[in-house]
Structure 1
Amino acid sequence: MPGHERLVHTMVAGASGIDMALLLVAADDGPMPQTLEHLAVLSLLGVSRAIAVLTKTDRADAARVAAVRAEVAALLAPTPLAGAPIVAVSAQTGEGIDALKAMLLEAARADGSRAEVDFDLKAFRLAIDRAFTLPGTGTVVTGTVHAGEVAVGGELALLPTSSAQPLPARARSLHAQSREVARAHAGQRCAVALPGIAKDQVARGQWLTAPTVALQTQRVDVRLTLWHGEAKPLRSGARVLAHLGAAQVAATVAVLDADTLAPGAGAFVQLVLHAPVGAWHGERVLLRDAAASRTLAGGSVLDPFPPTRYRRTPQRLAELQALTLPSAAERLAGLLAAAPFGVDLQRFTTAQGLLTLPPDAMPDGALAQAGQALGATQTAALEAAVLAALQAFHDKQPDELGPDTARLRRLTAPRLSAPLWQALLARLAAAGQIALRGAVAHLPSHGAQLTAQETRIAQKVAPALSAAGYEGAWVRDLAKGTGDSEALMRITLARLARQGELHQTVKDLYYPPATMARLAAIARAIGAAHDGNVLAAQFRDATGLGRKRAIQILEHFDRIGLTRRVGDLHKLRAECTLFTE
């Protein structure tokens, strides 16, 4: 109801947790300046159900009541409360009181039957608006429960804090609706006794939440509507006061999908807050001017983890559009369709304020692994990219079995998380589209089976290859040792190399995997002692090889992805898993 402008911030804190409002207008005075302020607050906070009540009808004649009724209806018309019933009452005579009671009871029954989207999945959140101490009880906080439920003895988190880490807490006892209870739930006014928490550790504007959704942020992306009565558009860079829960904090506006926000219009906006707040998807936000003299805009939180850069790109706007969908499952599906490198499911669940993902949250064809998820379209595109990259590698280096999986990731999906990359390879391997041999991936057609004659030759040359040591074995020498033709020996060894059974460093020079693994271990040891750098001279001295052969081996390591050539250095790739089995 109308009140002093200094108390509007208290009304905002209360209204952000309500489903329905009574807008009171005295019949003798008519709408007052604060009536407009409260109407703007209700409208911008998304309260779409209300009853307008004309009070003190005993102090006005019928003509005056009719005029005020028309005036109130005109005020409601351009707002979400348009068409709300208007009831004339008098506390002195009892006029209209029974009708008002009947409306309220009917609204309560209808509200109790509404099935709120994702209601059962929401974690506990209480916006703290008061803290005090009671003898024998300790610190007590009160506020409105915005979501979820809590039981006596339940573990909680107090936030935000100066340390950026939530403060652990426990509900010793609960009072809801002015009586002691074992559980409290969304919609109730609730008092929580917090043992071990000092009163000076708690302030108005903080939150009590379930530990799994504890977060604090100084940036939020919101869907915002500018009040239609504003004279000027809202521009990026505007300084405002943001009300969220029971908190009031200075903020700066950045309009994301337009240059300005016109009166009565909506837009995606990022708020850069001057102090940390708790914020979750769907929490209502209200903006007032920096002097706190009028209400400007309102909306709801879309993302408490927004990017600081590239926040206006088409991809980001598509993600924000997905976050406007009604259910968590739809929002996740929309994000997966828009995000090129997947979604962090734990981060999503926390931002949504959910205990867990809905059971039907993962769309068909999506890839999920270790708390990460990738959309079906992106998965199919990356699978095609992997197959194309392998084919190109085989065409360019037919004597190599294939690239190390870490190198293949750099070629096709360098920004994809490691768990999703492994899941992608596993899916391709399970479908028979690729083959994995240790840390190497290749197309199945690239590792053709040896003929009987080639198998016999491979068995005969195995001892000579092992005995060759770090120098390696040449095709002509192996052919002389077995009495086979050089052409047949060359074909056999090349096929063994394609299968990963041998390594060809230069044309016709081969090493068995065990020898190459020892050489790789030497390179890694040198790199570990020199900030990941391997010099040819150091490698030459450690292996006892000549400079030419040492360089040939290091260049082979560059090709297969163990190292990377930078000037005269060969830098170890930390993520490479070759020769680590």
Structure 2
Amino acid sequence: MIVGTAGHIDHGKSALVRALTGVDTDRLKEEKARGISIDLGFAYRTFPNGARIGFIDVPGHERFIHTMLAGAGGIDFALLVVAADDGVMPQTREHLAILQLLGVRRGLVAITKADLADDERLLAVEIEIEALLAGTALEGAEVLPVSSLTGQGVDVLEQRLAQVSREIGRRSASGRFRMTVDRSFIISGAGTVVTGTVLSGAVGIGDMVTVSPGGLPARVRSIHAQNEKAERGQAGDRCALNLVGEGIERDAISRGDMVLDPALHAPTARIDAELGVLATETQPIGQWFPVHLHHAASEVPARIVLLSDEPLQPGQGGVVQLVLERPIAAVGGDRFVVRDTSAQRTIGGGRFLDLRAPARRRRSPERRAQLAALAAPEPAAALSALLEAPPFLVDLDRFARDHALGEAETDKLSESVIRIPPGTGAIAMAPVRWLRLRQHILADLHSYHAENPDHPGIGLERLRMMGEIRPPAPVFRLILQGLQRQGEISLDGAWVRLPGHVVRFAATDEKIWNEIRPHLTGTERFRPPRTRDFAAMTGLGEQDTRELLKKASRMGLVHEVAHDSFFARSVLAEIVETLRDIASHTPKGEFTAADLRDRLENGRKVSIEILEFLDRHGVTIRRGDLRRLNPHRLDLFGTRASEDQKREPSPAERPDFKLERQHS
């Protein structure tokens, strides 16, 4: 168990820790000279019942509240100290408020210097303390008079702490390892040592860790837990880790850094959070209000962005966005405190909700629903609620990382969700939502085919936008690919259809199409005849020929690359493959219209028309006279495999084509 002191300056916190442990926590020369604590102090003791308790002694002076905050973030039990001669003082109130904001729910109060007060004075101070604690998490906490000088009440305090330590027990070591750093120093012969409180998980000798937010990799050479050599340190322990690795030096690691499992390294500088403003605050919190944010042992300047229309008044709470001056390493659910920029007062505090807060649409109804879901106290409840909020899916790997969940915990969450791709994917959906999405996709395809029997299918993006649930396009494609593997739909490039859907020409159109098709897929395919040429060829009439070709376009057989210039879909796929080959032979994957013209031998004008068509569809990206392929759109026109291509390969497909031309 980790016990943290709290209380006003010169109320005897360090003396009480010394009486309990025999350790003088004022280690600095300046502390001894001035008789006050300036930095954090640490002491340990094994009690007669076997309980090993660590004590964090914090400064009481108002100038060192930031140091007090660095020590209070990882404590299990608060030891609030009030001197009998002074009673409750300003930093007593501020420290208590900070404990409340940090979520410390257990503690007791020691009335120190009890030897200087009579029974009447002790009773008056006790009444004052009870009034102070009313309405807080420590309301009803035991109050014990003690004297570090005479030893009065110290034995009773020892018994209470030992008893509480057994009641609290060890924290669960589940989750991934995180330790906040409050000291970093060099030991001769060992190297860099960092100390702090383990917030979650466990670490062993030889484990690889990362120092975040800097991202320095390191290996744990040795461990001390509760000031004793150990093979492992786990949640709730005060640990000293001897770290080794390239770049691991004293100056490279500072108070506020986190030593953590490498899988958790994902610093953030924009966080959505619950914020409660203390009733003692003197002014409302307005838009972009500047503060100092304290999280674990870190301190960073930040701005508060309100997600509501009205300022937050003293005593009120709400959801805000915290925009930090520099990134920190944090986890969803972590507690924080904000103080004013002059470091004179504590303003409020709360709990982190989302570490990946958006800069835009942060006040939309969908975003509010997501934040309401993330406010659930436990990750499992938060995930369940999040899956019922738009967009009704969650990146499970990111969720697990941002909540420091271990593999076993993540696997347990996976049991109650549908993963995309099925079974292994990172995207999670609630089973009921997945069923509704699947039913809507199939129903929308049935309806579309009934209304458009001459269309080969519906465009992927149009189908996505028709649904009540609209996953991001890459996720939607994964969903469709899964349904295709199950035989429920068919994908043909950008078209989606039901497997049994077949589009056919009427008998008269089929006859004319059979005359036109060889010219679109044979030796002329890279420079096919235009509409007027087909009209003259078939005797159909130019307008009727145009209508037939547009019908073929709706059926997915051809695409109108330029006005009255139609290319077979399979030929466009062939052209894309040719461009891939051209790009693979250039250093930056770039090519020109002339490169395509030379490979296809179809003339500059036609090659430019083809490339401009591909530009419009995002298959190619143009920069001046150069183009490159967009890898995310290469499947837009499907594969080259088709019955139309049962022929001899063209010269453009042969790798020795250029050489052959030069020698001809």
* TM-score w.r.t. length of structure 1: 0.79
Superposed displacement of residue 286, structure 1? 0.9
Shift of 1:375: 4.5
Q: Which residue of 1 aligns with 2:196?
A: 143
> In the alignment, residue 319 of structure 1 is paired with which amino acid?
Q
C-alpha contact 2:284 2:314 (8 A) present in aligned 1:
yes
After superposition, residues 147-546 of structure 1 pair within 5 angstroms as 147-161=200-214, 166-196=215-245, 197-257=248-308, 259-340=310-391, 342-356=393-407, 357-362=409-414, 364=416, 366-369=418-421, 370-376=425-431, 379=434, 382-383=437-438, 386-387=441-442, 390=445, 394=449, 398-403=453-458, 405=460, 416-417=471-472, 420-429=475-484, 433-436=488-491, 440-447=495-502, 470=525, 471=528, 517-518=573-574, 542-543=601-602
Q: 1:394: how far off?
A: 4.0
Paired residue for 1:485? none
For residue 233 of structure 2, what is the amino acid of its counterpart? Answer: A
Pair 1:386–1:545, CA change in 2 (3 A): farther
CA distance in 2, matches of 1:397, 1:533: 39
| Deviation, structure 1 residue 442 | 1.0
Q: Secondary structure at the match of 2:388?
A: helix
Amino acid at match of 2:399: F
Separation in 1, partners of 2:130, 2:559: 86
Aligned partner of 2:64 in structure 1 is 7
1:154 is displaced (CA, Å) by 0.9
What is the aligned partner in structure 1 of residue 38 from structure 2? Answer: none
Q: Residue 188 of structure 1 aligns to which amino acid in structure 2?
A: D
Change beyond 3 A, Cα 1:534–1:349: farther
- SS of the equivalent of 1:420 reads helix
Query: 1:437-462 deviations in whole A, cap 9, x for unaligned?
Result: 57743123422899xxxx9xx99999
| CA distance in 2 between partners of 1:510 and 1:251 (Å) | 58
Shift of residue 77, structure 1, vs aligned partner: 0.5
Q: How many angstroms apart in 1 are the aligned matches of 2:440 and 2:613?
A: 25
Q: Deviations over 1:228-278 (max 9, x none)?
A: 222333222221111111111211111224522232332112211222222
Whole-angstrom CA distance in 2 between matches of 1:188 and 1:546: 74
Aligned partners of 2:197 and 2:237 also within 8 Å: yes
Extract unaligned runs of 5+ from structure 1: 479-492, 565-569
Alignment equivalent of 1:75, drawn from 132, 149, 157: 132
Change (3 A) 1:47 1:559: closer
Deviation of residue 432 (structure 1)?
5.1
Per-residue CA shift, 1:498-543, capped at 9, x if unaligned? 998x65979xx999876564466578899999989989x979x944
| Aligned residue in 2 for 1:17 | 74
Letter of the 1:361 counterpart: L
Whether the 8 Å CA contact 1:13–1:245 is kept in 2: the answer is yes
- The aligned amino acid for 1:35 is T
For 1:344 and 1:47, the matched residues in 2 are separated by 31
The letter for the 1-side match of 2:230 is: V
In structure 2, C-alpha distance between the alignment counterparts of 1:68 and 1:44, rounded to whole Å: 24
- Counterpart in 1 of 2:18? none
Shift of 1:110: 2.0
- Equivalent pairs, count: 556
CA distance in 2: counterparts of 1:365 and 1:128, whole angstroms: 36
2:116 matched to 1:59? yes
Amino acid at match of 2:101: L
Distance 1:377 1:108 in 2: 45
* Mapping of residues 31-46 of structure 1, within 5 Å: 31-46=88-103
Match of 2:639 in 1: 580
SS of match in other structure, 2:411: coil
Q: Give me the whole-angstrom Cα distance separating, in 2, the residues matched to 1:126 and 1:504.
A: 60
Matches of 1:297 and 1:102 in 2, distance apart? 34
Contact 1:466–1:515 under 8 Å retained in 2: yes
Query: Which moves more between the two structures, 28-37 or 336-345?
Result: 336-345
Percent same amino acid at aligned positions?
38
Q: Which moved more, 1:376-385 or 1:302-311?
A: 376-385
C-alpha distance after superposition, 1:299-327 (max 9, x if no partner):
12222221111112222222122122132
Quick one: distance in 2 between partners of 1:538 and 1:246? 64
CA RMSD of aligned residues (A): 4.9
Does the CA contact (< 8 Å) of 1:330 and 1:361 recur in 2?
A: no
- The 1:400–1:518 alpha-carbon spacing in structure 2 relative to 1, beyond 3 Å, is farther
When structure 1 is superposed on structure 2, of 416-425 and 331-340 the one drifting more is 416-425
Q: 1:469 to 1:302 in 2, by over 3 A?
A: same
Which amino acid in 2 is paired with 1:292?
A: A
What is the alpha-carbon distance in structure 1 between the residues aligned to residue 360 and residue 418 of structure 2? 27
Cα 1:160–1:336 change in 2 (3 A) is same
Q: AA paired with 1:580?
A: T
Say if 1:158 and 1:167, in contact at 8 Å, map to a contact too: yes
Could you say which residue in structure 1 is the equivalent of 2:167? 110
- Indicate conservation of the 8 Å contact 1:48/1:81, yes or no: yes
Any unmatched runs of 5+ in structure 2?
A: 1-6, 9-59, 539-548, 622-626, 641-664
Tell me, yes or no, if the aligned pair for 1:174 and 1:191 is still in contact at 8 Å. yes
Amino acid at match of 1:157: T
Could you tell me how far 1:388 is from its partner in structure 2?
A: 6.0
Paired with 1:256 and 1:407, the residues of 2 have a C-alpha distance of: 33
Query: Equivalent residue of 1:261, what SS?
Result: coil
Counterparts of 2:451 and 2:617 in 1: how far apart (Å)? Answer: 12
- Which residue identity lines up with residue 359 of structure 1 in the other structure? D
Which shifted more, 166-175 or 368-377? 368-377
After superposition, the Cα gap between the structure-2 partners of 1:408 and 1:82, relative to the gap in structure 1 and judged at 3 Å, is same
Deviation sequence 1:207-240 (CA, Å, 0-9, x none): 1111110122222222121122223332222211
How far, CA to CA, are the matches of 2:611 and 2:446 in structure 1? 24
| Distance (Å, rounded) in 2 between the aligned partners of 1:10 and 1:560 | 58
C-alpha contact 1:404 1:561 (8 A) present in aligned 2: no
Greater RCO, CA 8 A, separation 6+ = 1
1:44–1:297 Cα contact (<8 Å) kept: yes
Secondary structure of the residue aligned to 1:126 is strand
358-367 or 190-199, which deviates more? 358-367
CA distance in 1, matches of 2:195, 2:110: 29
SS at match of 2:368: helix
Whichever residue aligns with residue 138 of structure 1, its letter is: G
Q: Contact 1:448/1:495 (CA < 8 Å) preserved in 2?
A: no
